[in-house]
Amino acid sequence: MCPAFKSEHIPRATIQRLAIYLQVLEALKNEDTEVVSSERLARACDVNPSQIRKDLAYFGEFGVRGVGYNVSKLIQSIKVSIGTDRLWRTALIGVGNLGRSLLRYQGFPKRGFKIVAAFDCDPFKIGEVVADLEVMCPRQMKSRVQELRIEIGIITAPSDRAQRAADYLVEADIRCILNFAAARIQVPDHVYVEYVDFFHHLYVLTFKYCVGEAQRAKTTSKP
Amino acid sequence: MCPAFKSEHIPRATIQRLAIYLQVLEALKNEDTEVVSSERLARACDVNPSQIRKDLAYFGEFGVRGVGYNVSKLIQSIKVSIGTDRLWRTALIGVGNLGRSLLRYQGFPKRGFKIVAAFDCDPFKIGEVVADLEVMCPRQMKSRVQELRIEIGIITAPSDRAQRAADYLVEADIRCILNFAAARIQVPDHVYVEYVDFFHHLYVLTFKYCVGEAQRAKTTSKP
């Protein structure tokens, strides 16, 4: 089901960069670019070329000296290395504003994911159809997860209902959870959780801005 | 405008953890918890206690030995350290599904941000009111940014319009950009950009899952 890994210890930061490489490579492919040098790829990704060569060497991609990487082949290699050379069947729990926008988002399949079920405990939402999916009661989750062979759960519930949503997913034997709710969740050790919190990106921005301002103030106050 | 920094070199990973601490501390404050030990905070944040003590020491917070941290004071210290002890006036560009869900999201002000303007180049969207904001033409951006004293731009445009959105923001003298679009953007050196790409979190999940499966297969195949 999953590919054999050349390395089981690819660091998280590398996987983050692989996501960037994939994004840029897909754009190059759409422009019918067949081969790309590590320098050009580096510029487009805003990463230095030696970092790219190092990252790609992790999973045995070295490119051809003086020529570069074959775009389609590199896309396929990266997908195999992170396991997205197939579709991961995904359930979403919490059909609020964010949930709806994800359900309507068309970009999942080409990245290797498909939302095949949507759950919400609000009786007014159950039965509603959003992006061709009928919203279901979380009590049905266990049977639907088996039936639809769902492997990933996406939590878009409000923060005070995130733990309950997680409990439903764990109970349904889901082992991968992407949590958009602004709350930490407790799950058993065999369940992987990733948190999406765009506020930390905003904090990085405000922090950098403030540091920049402080430095500018220092520079201009010098005689 | 910005606080004096004890350290200009707080690593990105620390700022990410500060975001987690803030989230957990706010939840503790809502439960009327006044003091928290680094051990309890660590458990709730899923970070080890020595890491927390090290992170907080970055900006001069040491807590009281044997007692812990004062929750409200710690929240305030973290906010000051990342510059969110005030409201940052923000503009959003791209009123699609994601843009709408962010405009309707109520959680911005308590995290230090307020969306005060929304832009879209689609003539059918201009004039529409979403979450009390009238969608405006990006050509008006420069004057509106000055008028409304906007400092941060959030791009939620489709990927093929992300660069144009960035150009409008840069032209309007915005120096902080949060980009949700699935495309890299080019900006001058004095502009800070952060990318939000939840797919890298999905990739981390699928990667961990595959590595886990591979390890399980290895263990079960042993004699």
Q: Would the CB atoms of A192 and B205 count as touching at under 8 Å?
A: yes
Structure tokens at B191: 């502009």
* A43 Cβ under 8 Å from any chain B Cβ: no
pLDDT band, residue B7 (cuts 50/70/90): low
* A46 Cβ under 8 Å from any chain B Cβ: yes
pTM of the model: 0.91
What domains can be seen in chain A, in order of their start residue? Answer: 12-82 (1.10.10.10), 88-199 (3.40.50.720)
Tell me the average pLDDT across A99-118. Answer: 95
CB-nearest to B5 from A184, A202, A210 is A210
pLDDT in tens, B8-46: 677 888 888 999 999 999 999 999 999 999 899 999 998
ipTM of the complex, rounded to two decimals: 0.91
- Asked whether the CA dihedral A196, A202, A205, A211 is positive or negative, the reply is negative
HSE-CB of B62 using CA atoms within 13 angstroms:
3
Q: What percent of chain B has pLDDT over 90?
A: 74
Tell me the average pLDDT across A4-13. Answer: 68
Q: Would the CB atoms of B152 and A205 count as touching at under 8 Å?
A: yes
Secondary structure of chain A in HEC code, one letter for each residue: CCCCCCCCCCCHHHHHHHHHHHHHHHHHHHCCCCEECHHHHHHHHCCCHHHHHHHHHCCCCCCECCCEEEHHHHHHHHHHHHCCCCCEEEEEECCCHHHHHHHHCCCHHHHCEEEEEEECCCCCCCCCEECCEEEECHHHHHHHHHHHCCCEEEECCCHHHHHHHHHHHHHCCCCEEEECCCCCCCCCCCCEEEECCHHHHHHHHHHHHHHHHHHHHHHHHCC
* A211 Cβ under 8 Å from any chain B Cβ: yes
Specify the pLDDT at position A12. Answer: 84
Residue of higher predicted confidence among A214 and A189: A189
* A124 Cβ under 8 Å from any chain B Cβ: no
* A183 Cβ under 8 Å from any chain B Cβ: yes
* pLDDT averaged over every residue in chain A: 91
Q: What percent of chain A has pLDDT over 70?
A: 95
Structure tokens at A204: 């990085």
Q: Would the CB atoms of A100 and B105 count as touching at under 8 Å?
A: no
Q: Would the CB atoms of B105 and A82 count as touching at under 8 Å?
A: no
d(CA A157, CA A162): 6
Specify the pLDDT at position B13. Answer: 86
Asked if residues A38 and A53 have their Cβ atoms less than 8 Å apart, the reply is yes
Specify the pLDDT at position A221. Answer: 74
Q: Would the CB atoms of B2 and A104 count as touching at under 8 Å?
A: no
Rounded (to 5) percent helix, strand, coil in chain B: 50, 15, 35
Closest Cα of chain A to B137: distance in Å?
23
- B155 has a pLDDT exceeding 90: yes
- C-alpha R_g of chain A: 21
CB-nearest to A105 from B82, B97, B113 is B97
CB pairs under 8 A between A and B: 196
- A223 has a pLDDT exceeding 80: no
pLDDT in tens, B80-117: 988 999 999 999 999 999 999 999 999 899 899 999 99
Which residues on A lie below 8 Å from B215 (Cβ)?
8
d(CA A30, CA B158): 15
